[in-house]
Chain A
Amino acid sequence: AQKVTQAQTEISVVEKEDVTLDCVYETRDTTYYLFWYKQPPSGELVFLIRRNSFDEQNEISGRYSWNFQKSTSSFNFTITASQVVDSAVYFCALSEPTGANSKLTFGKGITLSVRP
């Protein structure tokens, strides 16, 4: 069965610090997709990134970067030079395309607080 573990529950940093949010996943499939979503205090769920299991290239988007390592089953998310607007709950998620009940499984989320 698929599982996503976000061991950190709450992280607090001061603005301009770099912060890494960890995500470890479990799956029996060789084909799968990994996601990160952001939920700011306003409550909506915002899609950030999707990676498929065959693409281990790291991705950078502005101050955001993602490190996908199949060897450790991890898909970590780093925010460089954090800002107060980065304060949110961040969810890592996993989906497997095979099987009739293919679904998105979320981790429990990490609450990030960025202090000015």
Chain B
Amino acid sequence: DTAVSQTPKYLVTQMGNDKSIKCEQNLGHDTMYWYKQDSKKFLKIMFSYNNKELIINETVPNRFSPKSPDKAHLNLHINSLELGDSAVYFCASSRLRWETQYFGPGTRLLVL
């Protein structure tokens, strides 16, 4: 019954590794997002997809690559992880871009 789900919930890895986070929503929404929440709790949008099409890319390093195989899934792949990538990453979805966004539980990434 989970509306927006993310896996994994925790991710601990070494600098330089490549990792992926998966997101799925069963709300039938057209738009999905990735956010990064830093240690000060500031939430910043990274990417937004609408019907599998990238519509927002907020000056994120190109080591981050989102992929949307269908409108219910939006995955985030991160290459060459750096210490500064340590954060909580949230996936979200909404019916329309300006409407209420529903968030996944977050993925806590720690880069050592």
The contact of B42 among A35, A37, A109, by CB within 8 Å, is: A109
Chain B residues with CB under 8 A of A37: 103
Residue pair B105, A44 in contact (C-beta under 8 Å): yes
**How many residues on the B side are at the interface (Cβ–Cβ under 8 A)?**
24
B70-112 Cβ-contact flags toward A at 8 Å (1 or 0): 0000000000000000001010100011111111011010000
Residue pair B103, A103 in contact (C-beta under 8 Å): no
Beta-carbon contacts under 8 Å, A85-114 to B: 89, 91, 95-97, 100-104, 106, 108-109, 111
Residue pair A45, B90 in contact (C-beta under 8 Å): yes
Residue pair A108, B106 in contact (C-beta under 8 Å): no
Q: Does A43 contact B (CB under 8 A)?
A: yes
The contact of B98 among A39, A45, A102, by CB within 8 Å, is: A102
The contact of B56 among A33, A96, A103, A111, by CB within 8 Å, is: A103
Residue pair A33, B41 in contact (C-beta under 8 Å): no
Q: A43-B105, A45-B103, A109-B42 are in contact. Are A101 and B98 (CB under 8 A)?
A: no
A89 CA to B100 CA in the complex, in Å? 18
Chain A residues with CB under 8 A of B103: 37, 44-45, 47
Q: Does B68 contact A (CB under 8 A)?
A: no
Q: Does B45 contact A (CB under 8 A)?
A: yes
Q: Does B27 contact A (CB under 8 A)?
A: no
Chain A residues with CB under 8 A of B43: 91, 106, 109
Q: Does B25 contact A (CB under 8 A)?
A: no
A23 CA to B92 CA in the complex, in Å? 22
A32 CA to B14 CA in the complex, in Å? 42
B38-49 Cβ-contact flags toward A at 8 Å (1 or 0): 001111110010
Give chain B's interface residues, CB within 8 Å of chain A: 33, 40-45, 48, 55-56, 88, 90, 92, 96-103, 105-106, 108
